[in-house]
Structure 1
Amino acid sequence: MTTTTNPGVAPARRHSRRRALIVVAAIAAVLPLAALAAPRGMRLGEESTGDAALVRAVRQAVWPSAGHHALAVALIDRGTVRTAGLGTTQASGGRPVDDSTPFEFGSVTKPMTGMILADLARKGELDPRTTVGEVFPDRTFRDPGIAATSLEELASHRSGIPTIPVSFVGAPYLGSLVGGNPYRGWSAQDIVDDAARSVATGRGEIAYSNLGFALLGQALASRAGIAYDDLLRERIIGPLGMRDTVLVSDPRGLPSGRAHGYLTSGHEALPWSSDGYAPTGAGGWSTSADLARFVAAVLDGTAPGSDATRPRWDIAEGDRIGYGWRTTDGVTWHDGHTGGFSSYVGFDRTSGRGVVVLGNTSASVDYIGLRLLGKDGPTGRDLLSRELPLLALTALCLFGATRTLQVAARRRACRPLPVPDRLKLVSMTWRAVVLLAVAWTFGAWNIVWPPLWPATAALVAAAIAVGALRVPRLPTARGPRPRLRWAATTASVMLWIAVAAAVVIVWSAR
């Protein structure tokens, strides 16, 4: 009896083994490197300092996937202050956070600026109805309405001045998407210049304006004849004994022992610093202990300019605004957000309780402050809904990148996808690399499991290796219309080059 052997079986098996070895080798080579470069979603650290009961209350209030890394908290209850620190000052290493750790506090400077106005008004040194044109009589304003805007309109966001100047759009905005400092280099004079070029819309209606509040602070400083940081120190920081609260206009002067700021994706953010935008929240650093002094003094009415907290104008039902301070459902508050930090200060006069929450990521801490005050705040579902666009982008990028493996491995046509040709492998490979870069830059890694990124990168590397193995046996352009295939591939590659260029521009603008 004669046994017949198919002569093509052995080479096919050898080819399969070779392809498997190449796949394993590609994954083994890329996976460790990708793991080193992988994004890291931020999680609240296990370290803690201060009041143990407050630490437990904070952990119970925190949504685990919100993207926090470290929190410094102070709770004021009828004059008694308790503090707690959770996490460390840096994502890698760092010391445990406590009530002496400096955090960037962002727009909490706004209510302080409003209090300067209220203090000047109480002492008869300045009428809140003084107009911008009266403070800067030598300036010509493109919009006469801005010159006629009063300081108290600026303090209550009723000026109609846009929230950011036209000059902000472009590189400063793009860089801020990846934790850059959008206000770098703005001087006090730049603020007045930007306001002079702006056009107000909806004056009298309440619309949040960073430029408007920066103009208020610089107008107050101009009227006082000193720089804004000196004015804040003289009127608020000094009288309250806030020795650890500073305004930093030069990054080289950052406070020692500070917390480092991060995006929720894990990328480190640059500190914000700016002379011009200091009144609106750039460059302010403080500790939970210092801000607890501030909140306690405002709560009991002993802080200079405490009248700024008095609600004067309606935003919506149960929501009113004074000079910078908002009062919503009985809680008087303000929050702050910079590239890598979030803050919340608030108090409830009825209960006699106040709270300070400082975080070193871009994740909002407002809901933590509200829960510590015994109020209803956003739920985990609410917080998740805000992340849905980035979550969808992350999923689409990872899925699109893994399709490279599917295309490279396809050996038979399968509607509607044919067997790939060399042009298809080139375009799919480039697309996968760009999608990985987009996912790394903008991904919602506080929610999505971070190891998915290096795993996807390793699969893409394996697909590229398999595709390279098949290139000699594939036609350059499959189908009856090779010119159309060339045109389509060129268009696809150019599109993804544009996307890659946009990512590079965003990072370079940082």
Structure 2
Amino acid sequence: MKTDWTGDADLVRSVERAFRPHAAAVAVISPERERTATIGASRGSFFEIASISKALTGMAYRDATERGLVSPTTVLRELLPLEDHGQVGSVSLGSLAIHRSGLPGLPRRMQPLRRNLRFLLRGENPYGDSLVELLDQTHGLRLGAPRPKYSNLGFQLLGHAVAKAAGSSYGQLLRDVLGPGFSTPFHAEDLGEADLTGYGRFGRPMAAWVGEAVAPAGGVRADISTMRGFLRSVLDGTARGLSALDPVAEFTPRVGIGAGWITLEHRGRPITWHNGASGGFSSWIGLDREAGTGVVVLSAVHRSVDRLGFRLLTEFTPTSESTS
């Protein structure tokens, strides 16, 4: 795939060498204007947003707490059928939201090493489990120390637990809380013409990372128009569950965490952000909330876009001189 960027001229000039020949889409919102640029994709092309899904799940969780459906002390066995699964049922939603539950990154019964090998050798989807299968994989899990440990399993359980509290599926909950444009396909057969194929770092097409269980942690898809609208709602304060962005604990030294969202200082500015990476996609979303500026980067190749995201956020954030 080799084509030209289209969209806002200033944004195109800033990113035109970043992705060729892979599909990508970028959106920037600042107090002055909104900008979008795409290559190899339309504004309606769907990308895997990977672990940005966790940031969305965090907002759905915080919205549920604000509506009184759950509280940070609600434990998993109150919402999911985990009564006879051992320690996992006693994990609180609040600890899941800040990666302090003591759960591993993935359950051993999922056989993550075997799946990762098939992913590396054949580009297969290492996920694809149903919610029933995910819950079965948690049998007998022993909790570790409640210190910060990034856990895909934790956010899978958090999202599905909050959905149960709302009397909904996770996908429907997400659309109800944050907007109708988010897709959570269970199977590859659920994908449509607008869903892009992702590529590994060496150019191999990769299987889509789809599955009911993984959706809250990394299985959401969206186009740049949906992500730009979502970003706008966060910046203007109309999005639900906004308290998810406010750090409530330390994740690593000088790095705070809210419900999924990370906050750190970059070039003297507090930046709230999350990134994502799946087999064939990379993504980044970040906000300078004080300046009213935000950036979304979606890419159909497994290659980090973090540096680009931070650069664009700095580049398009008005300086104090320009806003005075």
> What is the TM-score with the length of structure 1 in the denominator?
0.58
8 Å contact kept, 1:69–1:361: yes
Matches within 5 A, 1:157-236: 157-166=99-108, 167-178=110-121, 179-184=123-128, 186-203=129-146, 205-236=147-178
- Equivalent position of 1:38 in the other structure: none
Among 232, 239, 264, the alignment partner of 2:201 is: 264
Gaps of 5+ in 1: 1-43, 89-96, 376-510
Map Cα deviations across residues 266-323 of structure 1 (whole Å, 9 max, x no partner). 11001111011111112x2211111011112112221010111011001234310000
8 Å contact kept, 1:132–1:150: yes
Higher normalized contact order (CA 8 Å, seq sep 6+, divided by chain length) = 2
Q: What letter matches 2:133 in structure 1?
A: D
- Equivalent position of 1:59 in the other structure: 16
Greater radius of gyration (CA): 1
How many Å separate the matches in 2 of 1:301 and 1:149?
A: 31
Structure 1 pair 140/358, CA: closer, same or farther in 2 (3 Å)?
same
2:227 is the alignment partner of 1:285: no
Structure 1 pair 224/196, CA: closer, same or farther in 2 (3 Å)?
farther
How many Å separate the matches in 1 of 2:284 and 2:197?
A: 18
- Give the deviation of 1:45 after TM superposition: 4.2
2:47 is the alignment partner of 1:103: yes
How many Å separate the matches in 1 of 2:32 and 2:136?
A: 44
- Give the deviation of 1:138 after TM superposition: 5.6
8 Å contact kept, 1:325–1:333: yes
2:276 is the alignment partner of 1:336: yes
- Give the deviation of 1:79 after TM superposition: 6.6
- Equivalent position of 1:480 in the other structure: none
Structure 1 pair 168/47, CA: closer, same or farther in 2 (3 Å)?
farther
Matches within 5 A, 1:451-462: none
- Equivalent position of 1:74 in the other structure: 27
2:235 is the alignment partner of 1:299: yes
How many Å separate the matches in 2 of 1:79 and 1:110?
A: 29
- Equivalent position of 1:18 in the other structure: none
Q: CA RMSD in A?
A: 1.9
8 Å contact kept, 1:262–1:341: yes
Deviating above 6 A after TM superposition, structure 1's stretches of 4 or more consecutive aligned residues are none
Which structure shows the bigger proportion of residues in strand conformation?
2
8 Å contact kept, 1:106–1:280: yes
How many Å separate the matches in 2 of 1:112 and 1:344?
A: 13
Structure 1 pair 68/147, CA: closer, same or farther in 2 (3 Å)?
farther
- Give the deviation of 1:53 after TM superposition: 1.3
Map Cα deviations across residues 470-508 of structure 1 (whole Å, 9 max, x no partner). xxxxxxxxxxxxxxxxxxxxxxxxxxxxxxxxxxxxxxx
Question: Secondary structure of the equivalent of 2:240?
Answer: coil
How many Å separate the matches in 2 of 1:51 and 1:45?
A: 19
How many Å separate the matches in 2 of 1:101 and 1:137?
A: 37
How many Å separate the matches in 1 of 2:158 and 2:45?
A: 29
Q: What letter matches 1:177 in structure 2?
A: L
- Give the deviation of 1:157 after TM superposition: 0.7
Q: What letter matches 1:259 in structure 2?
A: L
- Give the deviation of 1:149 after TM superposition: 1.6
Matches within 5 A, 1:301-340: 301-329=237-265, 330-340=270-280
Q: How many residues align?
A: 309
How many Å separate the matches in 1 of 2:145 and 2:206?
A: 34
- Give the deviation of 1:148 after TM superposition: 2.3
Which structure shows the bigger proportion of residues in helix conformation?
1
